[in-house]
């Protein structure tokens, strides 16, 4: 069976944690598309050429979860040529047998607009900054909050594939939810949507 679950949202909203849990629960493949951009941003050289030749080894390198890598990803993601180079990789992954869960910022709107299920996971900037600060231990909370706000603005205002919910996406606000509650709510939405798709 082929199905695509698109999970989008801003940094530190919980989409990665939810996506991994959903993929494991369904026995589906998972792709953190942000790692593609982080890997491109952290390598030296022409980002377009790097994007065209990205390998699985590049996605496994250390340091891709740091604040610096996130900033680097956001900078290269505004380049339309970089985005175009990574689209085919993501679309191929999305239609693999057994189903696929992809998380990112433009999966439901650009990469997989025909996805069977679309979620947009969000949370307040303050909550997301606290999570990111506790996760990385880098800088001060105020510095991380400022970085989150700058990145949000850059991601939402870019001309090519801006961060926004797809029209048919279910919005899941995790500001006041535990990880377990967020995963449970996501699973309920996905079960209902996939059930609707699979009914004759």
The answer on whether 14 is annotated among ligand-binding residues is yes
The answer on whether 43 is annotated among ligand-binding residues is no
Q: What is the pLDDT of residues 177-198, one digit of tens each?
A: 999 999 999 999 999 998 876 5
- Write b or e for each residue in 160-180: b if 16 or more Cβ atoms lie within 10 A of its Cβ, otherwise e: ebebebbeebbebbbeebeee
Report CA dihedral (144, 50, 110, 2) to the nearest 10 degrees. Answer: -110
The answer on whether 63 is annotated among ligand-binding residues is no
Closest CA to 161 of 53, 65, 82, 96: 82
pTM, entire model? 0.86
At residue 199 the predicted structure's pLDDT band, cuts being 50, 70 and 90, is very low
The answer on whether 66 is annotated among ligand-binding residues is no
Closest CA to 156 of 86, 78, 51: 78
At residue 137 the predicted structure's pLDDT band, cuts being 50, 70 and 90, is confident
Q: What is the pLDDT of residues 64-78, one digit of tens each?
A: 988 889 889 989 988
**Domains within the chain, CATH numbers bracketed:** 4-198 (3.40.50.300)
The answer on whether 9 is annotated among ligand-binding residues is yes
The answer on whether 108 is annotated among ligand-binding residues is no
């Amino acid at each position: 069976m082929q199905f695509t679950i698109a999970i989008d949202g801003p940094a530190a909203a919980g989409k990665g944690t939810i996506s991994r849990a959903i993929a494991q629960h369904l026995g589906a493949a998972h792709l953190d598309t942000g790692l593609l951009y982080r890997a491109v941003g952290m390598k030296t050289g022409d980002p377009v050429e790097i994007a065209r030749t990205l390998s699985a080894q590049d996605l496994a390198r250390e340091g891709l979860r740091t604040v610096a890598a996130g900033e680097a990803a956001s900078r290269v993601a505004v380049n339309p040529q970089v985005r175009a180079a990574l689209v085919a990789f993501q679309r191929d992954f999305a239609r693999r047998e057994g189903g696929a869960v992809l998380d990112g910022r433009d999966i439901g709107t650009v990469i997989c607009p025909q996805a069977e299920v679309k979620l947009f996971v969000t949370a307040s900037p303050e909550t997301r900054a606290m999570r990111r600060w506790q996760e990385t231990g880098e800088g001060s909370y105020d510095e991380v909050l400022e970085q989150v706000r700058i990145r949000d603005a850059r991601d939402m205002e870019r001309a090519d594939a801006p961060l926004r919910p797809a029209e048919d996406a279910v919005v899941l606000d995790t500001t006041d939810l535990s990880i377990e509650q967020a995963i449970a709510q996501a699973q309920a939405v996905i079960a209902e949507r996939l059930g609707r798709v699979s009914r004759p």
